[in-house]
């Protein structure tokens, strides 16, 4: 692994190292890709934790119980060394992502969008998305100009999300402000 002093702002987090696995320097990774083993398609990785940024090369990886990945990085052969990578985000440049069809979006594209309901009320901004058993859920937090100071969890479904305008930074939803 090598340390990189300068890093483009165009990196997208696709996973996070959370633990070690075994004694040969493998690490356990939460993958944010769908399916989770899509993370293994990226061989050149940027690891980031705060201001500590490093370049790494994926040697191998495998899914473990379908819940996380076990990953081997080039030059990482020791359990103690691997332990030092806990909490590092795994990032790749945005331009490596495959093109999507119309109406499909990556989560990073939705984060920061202003959310307005049918009545024109600003509910807040999308700050995060999460997977649930039935559908993805958007976490919407108040922002300047919001209707109120309530945090909201909105389903990311066709019934709720009516339109998305990435250029304008807006999302229109069918959601009652009192709900």
Assign domain 107-173 to its CATH architecture: Roll (2.30)
Helix (H) or strand (E) holding 108: helix 107-110
CATH 2.30.30.240 residue window(s) in the chain: 107-173
Per-residue pLDDT of the chain (179 residues; tens, 9 = 90+): 444 434 456 899 999 999 999 999 999 999 998 899 999 999 999 999 999 999 999 999 999 988 899 999 999 999 999 999 999 999 999 999 888 888 899 988 999 999 999 999 999 999 999 888 789 999 999 999 999 999 999 999 999 999 999 999 999 999 999 88
Q: Around Cβ 13, how many Cβ atoms within 10 Å?
A: 14
pTM of the model: 0.76
What are the angstrom distances between the C-alpha of 136 and each of 129, 141, 148?
7, 16, 24
CATH 2.40.30.60 residue window(s) in the chain: 9-96
CA angle, corner 93, sides to 91 and 94, nearest 5?
Answer: 110
Q: Around Cβ 57, how many Cβ atoms within 10 Å?
A: 14
Spatial strand order of the sheet with 170-173 comes to 152-155, 137-141, 122-130, 114-117, 170-173, 161-165
Yes or no: domain 9-96 corresponds to CATH 3.90.1200.10: no
């Amino acid at each position: 692994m090598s340390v990189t002093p300068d890093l483009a702002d165009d990196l997208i987090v696709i996973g996070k190292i959370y633990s070690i696995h075994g004694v040969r320097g493998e690490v356990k990774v939460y993958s944010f890709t769908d399916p989770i083993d899509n993370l293994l398609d990226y061989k050149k990785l940027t690891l980031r934790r705060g201001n500590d940024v490093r370049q790494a090369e994926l040697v191998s990886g495998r899914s473990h119980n379908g819940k996380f990945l076990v990953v081997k990085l080039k030059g990482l052969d020791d359990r103690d060394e691997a332990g030092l990578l806990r909490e590092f985000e795994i990032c790749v440049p945005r331009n490596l992502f495959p093109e999507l069809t119309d109406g499909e979006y990556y989560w990073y594209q939705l984060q920061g969008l202003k959310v307005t309901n049918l009545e024109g009320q600003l509910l807040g901004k999308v700050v995060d998305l999460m997977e649930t058993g039935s559908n993805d859920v958007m976490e919407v937090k108040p922002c300047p100009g919001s209707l109120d100071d309530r945090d909201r969890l909105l389903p990311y479904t066709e019934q709720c999300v009516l339109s998305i305008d990435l250029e304008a930074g807006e999302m229109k939803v069918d959601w009652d402000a009192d709900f």
